[in-house]
Structure 1
């Protein structure tokens, strides 16, 4: 039986997202979540998350990680690498990263501030590190995140978004593009003594026409031992609608993860949560 990670991204993005993730953790339907540290209610959300993990229905502990954030229009904790008062859209950050025009002093300051905010809220370092919209893969940002992880959280796992071949959806351009951006990450992490997952799944276009339960079954079945599938469950609310375009699909993801069919889905894939 293979051990895998089912990781919910975007904890603390909105109250309904956080509530949904806490509920799934308590049910034993997740074994990891990644926390955004750029919002003012982080301390309260961290306390609620720790309480939910203690109430888990399974004895295994959950990984609580840092979701490094540089996009989305949110206010930075220290500095925006594009020089704005708020983080730019992904396309702008990607363009600056690929052309070597990020303000690297700002990148270092913001990554440092987010690690420190996580530690202040939880009283410990993150047990894994990844990026909102996968920004931890990008040139410039990647090296800073790896260095900061090795310094602040040397035991943490860094998310490698190299797709598990058997978990792809047809040609799957989105997953292949993520894999291209992830090239070399595993070796660079290991050079700093950091672990990575051994396969990745969960990328799709968040469109309303998807049967997420079927997608999730495919993703989990295609993961190898030590693989990770990212999910984005949530209860849509007004705060979420003001902060992120992905709303109703989060409710569909929650339903698939919380439903009675999920344990059978794991069993069919000969998988268990790590």
Structure 2
């Protein structure tokens, strides 16, 4: 398989007349309210991928089972690892550097350390392996894909370690690259997206060298300001999105744990309301898209020891 295509074939699309996309809810595991909202949308057929954080206290074996069971019978969603390397979360392994109050660094400090080649390759690899092991222990199999909380997997040094781990620990899994196919001139109002696009170039090149699959395009970035209108922004995410493209989203219900851990709160409720409502499927169909069908995955209990 080429290194610039997702592991799941575009032919798994719901309708032969539509383009297949992956609508992925990030942050499963961060808080129960988020977990519940994501599972509800998967059951409704409004999501076909969920990215799981294994380091927050709210991620438990029970929460993993509640998600995995949705794939019994006809698979509803691909389930991936949302690699977490930034504050306020804490490493699973000792020795990770740099630290901030005993936890992971802020995103800017992680990228700075990577740019300056100051991340310890051994401890970085150990942490990535630990999170992959935690995922595999909880779900009984490796992740379908790997990405990063706050896109930390794109940081210099981190991206190399992630791709190496994916090739070794999760063969066949694709790694999220966050580059868009839209011309930069059309994305001047999305500085975050432009920055991710720049960091994704090196990710794509390295992935292709290693033979690790990546998604052909990515969308879903916007300024997480309190007045942001997700319903108006979503149709723009679909502009020029190719078959197999990934759209990121963050639906959820706000609870005390989420408020304690993350500033993204009320916007999660808005995203959930839009994705659960009647406008979303009509918008998707009108744009010529459908959600790709995940492949049939062998149940963990039937896998050989």
Within 2, Cα distance between the matches of 1:256 and 1:170?
Answer: 25
Within 2, Cα distance between the matches of 1:181 and 1:170?
Answer: 17
Q: Mean Cα displacement is larger for which, 235-244 or 91-100?
A: 91-100
Within 2, Cα distance between the matches of 1:103 and 1:221?
Answer: 40
- Candidates 48, 73, 98, aligned match of 2:88: 73
- Alignment-derived partner of residue 37 in structure 1: 54
Within 2, Cα distance between the matches of 1:88 and 1:151?
Answer: 26
Unaligned runs of 5+ in 1: none
- Work out whether residues 177 and 214 of structure 2, in 8 Å CA contact, stay in contact via their aligned partners in 1: yes
Unaligned runs of 5+ in 2: 1-17, 293-305
Deviation string 1:67-116 (CA, Å, 9 cap, x unpaired) is 11100211110143314521111111111111111122221110010000
What are the equivalent positions in structure 2 for 1:1-274 lying under 5 Å apart? 1-40=18-57, 41-54=59-72, 59=74, 61-79=76-94, 80-84=96-100, 85-165=102-182, 169-274=187-292
Instruction: Let me know the Cα RMSD of the aligned residues.
Output: 1.7
- Work out whether residues 145 and 173 of structure 2, in 8 Å CA contact, stay in contact via their aligned partners in 1: yes
Q: Aligned residues, how many?
A: 271
How far has the Cα of 1:166 moved from its partner? 6.5
Deviation string 1:217-241 (CA, Å, 9 cap, x unpaired) is 1102431111111000000000000
- Work out whether residues 187 and 194 of structure 2, in 8 Å CA contact, stay in contact via their aligned partners in 1: no
Greater RCO between the two (CA within 8 Å, min separation 6)? 2
How far has the Cα of 1:170 moved from its partner? 4.2
Within 1, Cα distance between the matches of 2:260 and 2:215?
Answer: 32
TM-score, reference length from structure 2: 0.85
- Work out whether residues 71 and 132 of structure 1, in 8 Å CA contact, stay in contact via their aligned partners in 2: yes
TM-score, reference length from structure 1: 0.94
